[in-house]
A and B are shown apart, each in its own frame.
Chain A
């Protein structure tokens, strides 16, 4: 199975890259029968993505509390790809349909208390309000790996 070998090798390149170049922890591959190829998930050393509306909620909460809120990293999905590949929108949709927003063992399993007050609204973004997002890890033959977010649905750009 040449294609299978290729995909396994690709996954290993990306796995090593996030683990050793980007210092991710708890990195694992994730296979599922309805996934076209295995995904990777892991915990980055610092937070990789903050939704612009979440940022607003955090700033509001920080103002009410009068102290900064530490942003813990979240588990993220990674999809290994090679630059020479071409994917169809249907394939991306199939991957998004197969996964949950939060990788296994993520924040949703822990119980986050008290969403009622406005100062805790930001916490929702780590749980029910988190949209599906995947890091596209595109590998080039020279071992360069580029990382791009792909979001499911209309997600406004960050204010970077």
Chain B
């Protein structure tokens, strides 16, 4: 497992200048191992949901994509040209393999559906049994209590038997009913389709706040977009599922003028939401003490003094 984690290459799809990750395993991986949450952006265009319920794909900031590329944990694929070239050059065998792959996914989906269905059925039957059991007299209770235990495995039998049957059914019986039996699926990734070498784009040109982002990420902080608090990032001391943000962070140039009103307003806002206003800049003169290529990061935290 650790070896596969170390070797994992996340495919970041560059679509219209946006950096997207479509594979749920990649999303989990970058969250667990690189402290990158990014933002879920997917929805159905004809039935948009609230932001809270958005799904795949996940959109990365340019600085998040660059961090992953710099760590050699990801590559950036030019999705448009890659799909076009691979679809036009596809031969019969790769086509066949892809169709087979889709069929297998449909079978897996059917299995999952059947299991779910059987579970629900079992639950309902169990309820009905319990109800009828309650109606029975106390004298017959002892015999009845043994019966459900004996029967309960059989309640879970249907999914396993159908699972076994599902295989031969597609091959032995007539093809038309088996085709209808398999559910249609929409794959979330085209990983099986794109088997050839992917043209890799250069790392993105990140925002000027990249050095601050890298500094925070290397110290185990998670970031989310900071606009809701008027900054570049909201900074969490761990996964945002577990922690509240500690800082609202803004990045500046070493010689960039910061108006005192900005410091006061951001400091005030931060204190009002139990956070600290963090601003940072990269020193051009001193080298990075962590051994990075840039200069030393200096960060300052501002909070209301209470006087």
Contacts and interface: CB of A to CB of B under 8 A. Distances in A.
A157 B247 contact: yes
Interface string B132-171: 0000000000000000000000000000000000000000
A149 B260 contact: no
B303 A89 contact: no
Instruction: Report the contact-size class of chain A (Cβ under 8 Å from the partner).
Output: 35 or more
A160 B274 contact: yes
Interface residues of B, number: 38
Nearest to B283: A93
A147 B260 contact: no
B223 interface: no
Given A92-B300, A151-B301, A157 B260 contact: no
A82 B259 CA distance: 10
The binding surface of chain A is classed by DSSP as mixed
Interface string B228-263: 000000000100000000110000111111111101
Name the residue in B263, B283, B300 with the highest tally of chain A Cβ atoms < 10 Å from its Cβ: B300
Given A48-B307, A154-B299, A148 B274 contact: no
A130 to B, nearest CB: 15
Contacts, number: 113
A149 B258 contact: no
Interface in B278-297: 278-281, 283
Contacts of A107: none
Contact of A93 (B267, B274, B298): B298
A85 B263 CA distance: 11
A90 B274 contact: no
B177 interface: no
Name the residue in B247, B254, B260, B276 with the highest tally of chain A Cβ atoms < 10 Å from its Cβ: B260
B35 interface: no
A148 B259 contact: no
B255 A149 contact: no
Given A88-B254, A154-B219, A160 B260 contact: no
Contact of A48 (B257, B298, B299, B305): B305
B271 interface: yes
A135 B264 CA distance: 12
Contacts of A87: 257-258, 260, 263
Nearest to A137: B305
A90 B263 contact: no
A84 B261 CA distance: 8
A149 B237 CA distance: 21
A82 to B, nearest CB: 7
Interface of A: 22, 44, 48-49, 81-90, 92-93, 96, 135-136, 138, 146-160
Given A86-B259, A88-B256, 5 more contacts: A96-B300, A138-B264, A148-B303, A150-B301, A151-B276
16 contacts: A83-B264, A85-B259, A86-B257, A86-B260, A87-B263, A88-B253, A88-B256, A90-B283, A93-B283, A136-B263, A136-B302, A148-B264, A148-B302, A148-B304, A154-B278, A157-B246
